């Protein structure tokens, strides 16, 4: 009897260690929840695959995104018939390493995009795709006096695929305090942009 179980045990051990290795390949580095969809930023440091924002049902570096557990901030990925759980980097493991913001972004002539949730890692550049090729880069930094600096830049992809910077504002505020920025002239134009966010935690 023990002899007949040994191959099964070896196979189970192999699958276990394969899952552990696969789990270490992919990093779950951000969440962006908008009125249109929920996206997850994934990074594969072991390969040349560039970081990407993906949704449930899409694939990244050979992994299919199966589901998202919002209570645990865990993504379930599938690769080679094995399910892999990936936890949001730093946000839950190390308290105080991330801030969650919610608010809205208005693009152009009043085109509003609601952002019920975006997770930002302190000290890291967090990049979020918005709409019409506009990308928001935001880096929160906790200052020595306890305030938080949000350094932002907004870029738009041109027809030839180049990133064109729209603006690079920065704001300093108290932890948990709302902040807003407006970019544009007196008359409405397609280049107008405004953001208004309230942190859920500081």
171-187: burial string, b at 16+ Cβ within 10 Å, e else? eeeeeeeebebeebeee
Check whether domain 2-87 has CATH 3.30.70, yes or no: no
Q: Domain spans of the chain?
A: 2-87, 98-199
Alpha-carbon distances of 83 from 7, 24, 39, 116, rounded to whole Å: 22, 13, 19, 28
| pLDDT average, residue stretch 89-105 | 70
pLDDT of residue 58: 95
Neighbours of 85 (CB within 10 A): 15
pLDDT of residue 24: 46
pLDDT single digits (tens) 174-195: 998 998 888 876 776 766 788 8
With cut-offs at 50, 70 and 90, classify the pLDDT of residue 96. low
Alpha carbon distance 21, 62 (integer Å) = 14
Nearest to 43 by CA among 54, 34, 32: 54
Alpha carbon distance 177, 201 (integer Å) = 9
3-class secondary structure per residue, 37-92: CEEEEEECCCCCCCCEEECCCCEECCEEEEEEECCCCEEEEEECCEEEEEEECCCC
Supply the mean pLDDT for the chain. 79
| pLDDT average, residue stretch 15-44 | 72
pLDDT single digits (tens) 121-155: 888 888 888 777 788 889 999 999 999 999 988 88
Q: pTM for this one?
A: 0.66
For residue 42 the two structure tokens come to 């994934």
């Amino acid at each position: 009897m023990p002899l007949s179980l040994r191959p099964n045990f070896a196979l189970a051990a192999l699958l276990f260690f394969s899952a552990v290795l696969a789990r270490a390949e992919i990093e779950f580095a951000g969440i962006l929840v908008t009125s249109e969809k929920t996206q997850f930023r994934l990074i594969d440091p072991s390969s040349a695959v560039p970081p990407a924002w993906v949704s449930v049902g899409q694939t990244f570096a050979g992994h299919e995104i199966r589901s998202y557990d919002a209570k645990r901030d865990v993504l379930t990925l599938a690769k080679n018939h094995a399910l892999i759980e990936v936890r949001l980097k730093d946000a839950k493991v190390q308290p105080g390493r991330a801030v969650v913001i919610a608010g809205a972004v208005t693009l152009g002539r009043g085109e509003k995009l609601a952002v019920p949730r975006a997770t930002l890692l302190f000290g890291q550049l967090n990049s979020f795709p918005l709409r019409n090729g506009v990308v928001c880069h935001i880096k929160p930094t906790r200052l020595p006096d306890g305030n938080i600096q949000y350094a932002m830049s907004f870029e738009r992809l041109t027809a030839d695929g180049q990133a064109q910077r729209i603006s690079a504002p920065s704001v300093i505020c108290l932890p948990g305090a709302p902040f807003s920025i407006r970019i544009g002239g007196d008359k409405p134009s397609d280049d107008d942009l405004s953001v208004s966010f309230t942190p859920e935690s500081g």
